[in-house]
Chains A and B, each alone.
Chain A
Amino acid sequence: MNGSGTSAALAIETSGLTKRFGRQTAVDSLNLAVPHGSVFGFLGPNGSGKTTTIRVMLGLAGATSGSVRIFGQEMPAHLRSVLPRVGALIEGPAFYPFLSGAANLRRLDTADRHAPAATRRRRIAEALERVGLSHAANKKVRAYSLGMKQRLGIANALLMPRQLLVLDEPTNGLDPQGTREVRSLVRSLAGEGTTVFVSSHLLSEVEQICSHAAVMRAGQLVAQGTLDELRRVGLTHLNIQTPDANAARAVLRRLGLEPDGTAAALDGQVSTPMNRPDLLPENIAAALVADGVRIRGFVVEAGSLEDRYVELTGEGFDVVQ
């Protein structure tokens, strides 16, 4: 599972992928590289272009410019040979409310000409079993809860053995238990060699199951790589506990760091981002001690992925339109 591979080792590759709706650019020059066998987290706040990217990847919408390759084959030109190998859950599940869960799966299975009719009944039963819906197979989807529909959507993606699963917000509407089950399902599929592309706005979800991730913001890719690579780029923080907080801040400023202001900080706590890579923590400690600052605690915190994510995508509702 190498972040930098040749295109042959990539399950999905987009280059310069752009999608415009009128004057709005939903996806802007996207260069994604999803390695074979990875569990790839596609992160970004709502409205950052994740679903549009997935729609273009799967040939539902045309790209304004740029290209998409799945298994090295150009899309949507090779849609017919590529898509039977891809299972997808796109922007939530969608079913005929007047049909049962099993009848809905049968319907979608007949749409795939590569899905053998002889094994249809068995494959549907197995897919339902795998998502825990066997008991509701003959219930009309109208009577399904949101979580059950979500499971049925995942079952649809698993009707055939797939090499690539594209799951758009797979845990939406699921209770915590269901979320855990989806996670373990994704892990087991990945263990069998299936490449899983999961889009999510929930960082915790991606952090727990993914080997790789990409972060979108306002249609643009702002980061991509293995989770470790993404963490490494994140800022580390230095937290110091000292009775001489003001003196400590003065020393840190002299070193070129930007410690937090006095008002906001807790008494006896000084915190600063380590925005000077050349400055080693031990040298900072030495400088502090040399200036007579009494140190009770000195902690270098590696940047969490969450910090990195927020840093990349903006805080709270401050989402770029």
Chain B
Amino acid sequence: MLHSGAGPNTTAGSEPAGSARLEQPSAPENRRASAGWALFGSELSVLFRRLRTWAMLLALAAVPVLIAVVVRLAADEGGPGGGPPFLNQITQNGLFVALTGLVVSIPLFLPLTISVVAGDTIAGEAGHGTLRYLLTAPAGRLRLLAVKYGAAVVFCIAAALTIVVTGALIGTILFGTGPVTLLSGDTIGVGDSLVRLLLVAVYVALSLAGLAAIGLFISTLTEVPVGAMATTAVLAVVTQIVGALPQLDWLHPWLFTYHWLDFADLLRQPISWDAFGANALLQGGYIAVFCALAYSRFSTKDVLS
């Protein structure tokens, strides 16, 4: 039933509803606009209330678990062979499960999940039709883009942390932990090594933030979220293939994937920040360019979905 009585009125209830509404003309100007963090909170809650988000994080968590279990089972049988970096250290120290998990996930699994989240940002809202309601609320186009990108970056951090935390946990359970021997030969304590792990997670999240900016831009180009997701994922893979072709080595330093696996510098004593700095500069450039592109596209876009 629709009630025709007093409506959602913010003014005092003693006033007749009619006069309260008629006085409204100046109200929005008088009422101070909030800073708008509520929308960011709402964005995060929508993102992390989706089953899809948890399914992706669960899949990422499965990577170090799988590695640890396989290594545990194989360790009983014989000596270590090839495999990804850090794999051989796992049996000596469980914390290396987290690093191996990252190395294995960086080329495909992590970019895939970021592509899903970043490709969905604007195109997903357009696909649901909710974009028109957000914009007429009015959310403001720049504010909406910022909130969307911010939430995508939060997901990048969550994705990297998921692998690091599950890796460290399962590694500790299966292999135990202790002082870590770094690439430089030095040995650091467990506490210090956990800090290093977090730094690596930040490094990976930063690498993914560049991809998220590209995904955000692609997402403003379409109303079909799956299209934006697939395009972003394909771009991440193709860029890595290009990065593996020696004939194109003049181009390599400009690819956003160039420093993706260079976090080993953070495992030296003292820490070498060179790779971190170079990666930050590269990703910063990509973030600036693609966020600007996304804004220039989105600010003038006709929302017809």
Q: Hey, which bits of chain A sit against chain B, CB under 8 A?
A: 55, 58-62, 71, 79-81, 83-86, 88, 90-92, 94-99, 103, 106-114, 116-117, 119, 122-123, 126-127, 129-132, 151, 156, 158-163, 181-182, 184-185, 187-189, 191-194
Partner of A90, one of B1, B29, B133, B139: B133
Interface centre among B4, B7, B31, B304, by most chain A C-beta atoms within 10 angstroms, is B7
Partner of A62, one of B1, B38, B128, B302: B302
Distance of B61 from chain A, by nearest CB (Å): 22
Name the 3 nearest CB pairs between A and B, nearest first. Answer: A94-B129, A188-B4, A111-B137
Partner of A108, one of B27, B50, B133: B133
Contact A193 B21 (CB under 8 A): yes
Interface centre among A79, A80, A192, by most chain B C-beta atoms within 10 angstroms, is A192
Instruction: Report Cα–Cα, A91/B136, bound state, in Å.
Output: 13
Contact A187 B4 (CB under 8 A): yes
Instruction: Report Cα–Cα, A160/B50, bound state, in Å.
Output: 28
Given A132-B2, A161-B20, check contact A61 B8 (CB 8 Å).
no
Distance of B300 from chain A, by nearest CB (Å): 7
Given A84-B28, A84-B138, A163-B24, check contact A132 B1 (CB 8 Å).
yes
Is B10 on the interface with A (CB-CB < 8 A)?
yes
Is B22 on the interface with A (CB-CB < 8 A)?
yes
Contact B136 A83 (CB under 8 A): yes
Contact B38 A117 (CB under 8 A): yes
Chain B residues whose CB sits within 8 angstroms of the CB of A71 once the complex forms: 25
Chain A residues whose CB sits within 8 angstroms of the CB of B41 once the complex forms: 110
Is B92 on the interface with A (CB-CB < 8 A)?
no
Distance of A128 from chain B, by nearest CB (Å): 10
A132 (CB) vs chain B CBs: closest residue: B1
B138 (CB) vs chain A CBs: closest residue: A83
Given A95-B128, A159-B8, check contact A60 B302 (CB 8 Å).
yes
Contact A161 B24 (CB under 8 A): yes
Instruction: Report Cα–Cα, A80/B38, bound state, in Å.
Output: 17
Instruction: Report Cα–Cα, A156/B130, bound state, in Å.
Output: 12
Is B246 on the interface with A (CB-CB < 8 A)?
no
Chain A residues whose CB sits within 8 angstroms of the CB of B8 once the complex forms: 122-123, 126-127, 130, 158-161
Partner of B300, one of A62, A96, A107, A159: A62
Chain B residues whose CB sits within 8 angstroms of the CB of A117 once the complex forms: 34, 38
Chain B residues whose CB sits within 8 angstroms of the CB of A193 once the complex forms: 18, 21-22
Is B248 on the interface with A (CB-CB < 8 A)?
no
Partner of A111, one of B4, B17, B28, B138: B138
B305 (CB) vs chain A CBs: closest residue: A94
B31 (CB) vs chain A CBs: closest residue: A114
Q: Hey, which bits of chain B sit against chain A, CB under 8 A?
A: 1-5, 7-11, 17-18, 20-22, 24-25, 27-29, 31, 33-36, 38-39, 41-42, 46, 49-51, 128-130, 132-140, 144, 300, 302-304
Given A161-B7, A163-B25, 8 more pairs with CB closer than 8 A? A84-B138, A91-B132, A108-B130, A110-B41, A111-B133, A127-B8, A131-B2, A151-B2
Given A94-B133, A132-B1, check contact A161 B302 (CB 8 Å).
no
A-B pair number, CB within 8 angstroms: 155
Distance of B11 from chain A, by nearest CB (Å): 8
Given A60-B303, A108-B134, check contact A182 B10 (CB 8 Å).
no
Given A94-B129, A127-B8, A159-B8, check contact A107 B1 (CB 8 Å).
no
Distance of A107 from chain B, by nearest CB (Å): 5
A191 (CB) vs chain B CBs: closest residue: B18
Contact B135 A113 (CB under 8 A): no
Contact A181 B136 (CB under 8 A): no
Chain A residues whose CB sits within 8 angstroms of the CB of B50 once the complex forms: 98
Chain B residues whose CB sits within 8 angstroms of the CB of A129 once the complex forms: 3
Contact A160 B10 (CB under 8 A): yes
Distance of B41 from chain A, by nearest CB (Å): 7
Contact B7 A94 (CB under 8 A): no
Distance of A112 from chain B, by nearest CB (Å): 4
14 contacts between A and B (CB under 8 A): A60-B135, A83-B136, A96-B46, A110-B38, A110-B41, A112-B137, A113-B140, A130-B2, A158-B8, A161-B11, A161-B20, A161-B21, A189-B7, A193-B21
Contact B139 A111 (CB under 8 A): yes
Partner of B302, one of A61, A90, A112, A131: A61
Instruction: Report Cα–Cα, A127/B129, bound state, in Å.
Output: 21
Chain B residues whose CB sits within 8 angstroms of the CB of A151 once the complex forms: 2
Chain A residues whose CB sits within 8 angstroms of the CB of B133 once the complex forms: 88, 90, 94, 108, 111, 156
Contact A55 B21 (CB under 8 A): no
Chain B residues whose CB sits within 8 angstroms of the CB of A162 once the complex forms: 24
Contact A99 B34 (CB under 8 A): no
Instruction: Report Cα–Cα, A163/B7, bound state, in Å.
Output: 13
Contact A123 B10 (CB under 8 A): yes
Distance of A193 from chain B, by nearest CB (Å): 4
Partner of B7, one of A55, A83, A96, A158: A158
Instruction: Report Cα–Cα, A85/B139, bound state, in Å.
Output: 13
Contact A60 B4 (CB under 8 A): no
